[in-house]
Amino acid sequence: MKAHKIWIDAGHGNKDPGAVGLNNRREADDNLRLAMLVEPLLRARGFGTGMTRTANNFTTSRVTAAMNANADIYLSLHRNDNKGESGHGYETITKENFSSADNALAQAVHRRMVEAGIQRDRGIKRINLSTLTSLPARIAGCTLEVGFMRNQRDNELFDQNLQRYARAIVQGVCDVYGAPIPEFTTIDAKLIMRHVAKIEPLNIEQIKRYDFDGNGVLTANHALRILRIIAGLDPKGSAGPVIFKGGDEVLIAAA
Please give the Cα distance from 54 to 20 (Å, whole number): 20
13 contributes a contact to Zn ion by CB under 5 A: no
Per-residue 3-state assignment (H helix, E strand, C coil) for 12-60: CECCECCCECHHHCEHHHHHHHHHHHHHHHHHHCCCEEEECCCCCCCCC
Q: Which is nearer to Zn ion, 159 or 213 (CB)?
A: 159
Smallest distance, Å, CB 107 to Zn ion? 21
Distance set, CA 39 to CA 119, 164, 189, 218 (Å): 25, 14, 21, 24
Least CB distance to Zn ion at residue 225 (A) = 33
Least distance CB 79 / Zn ion (angstroms): 6
The CA–CA distances, whole Å, from 1 to 44, 46, 68, 86, 165 equal 16, 10, 21, 47, 27
CB of 18 or CB of 50, closer to Zn ion: 18
Contact 212, 249 (CB under 8 A): yes
C-beta of 11 vs 172, nearer to Zn ion: 11
Number of shown-chain residues binding Zn ion (CB under 5 A): 3
Shortest Cβ distance from residue 32 to Zn ion (Å)? 12
For Zn ion, which stretch binds (CB under 5 A), given 67-75, 77-85, 135-143, 157-165?
Answer: 77-85
Instruction: Indicate the residue among 62 and 78 with the shorter CB distance to Zn ion.
Output: 78
Give Dmax over CA atoms of the chain in angstroms. 61
Asked if 18 touches Zn ion (CB under 5 A), the answer is yes
Distance CA 197, CA 236 (A): 22
* Closest separation in Å from C-beta 134 to Zn ion: 16
Rounded least distance, CB 29 to Zn ion, Å: 12
Q: How far apart are CA 68 and CA 242, in angstroms?
A: 16
By Cβ distance, which residue is nearest to Zn ion? 78
Select from 59-67, 78-86, 163-171, 206-214 the region that touches Zn ion (CB under 5 A).
Answer: 78-86
Q: Which of 4, 7, 11, 235 contacts Zn ion by CB under 5 A? A: 11
228 binds Zn ion (CB under 5 A): no
Q: Distance between CA 250 and CA 137 in Å, rounded?
A: 28
Q: Is 78 a binder of Zn ion (CB under 5 A)?
A: yes
Interacting stretch for Zn ion, rule CB under 5 A, among 70-78, 96-104, 154-162, 179-187? 70-78
For Zn ion, the closer of residues 64 and 82 by Cβ is 82
DSSP secondary-structure letter at 201?
Answer: -
Q: Dihedral of CA 116/117/122/128: which sign?
A: negative
How far apart CA 10 and CA 28 sit, in angstroms, is: 7
- CB 94, min distance to Zn ion, A: 16
Which residues sit at the interface with Zn ion, rule CB under 5 A?
Answer: 11, 18, 78
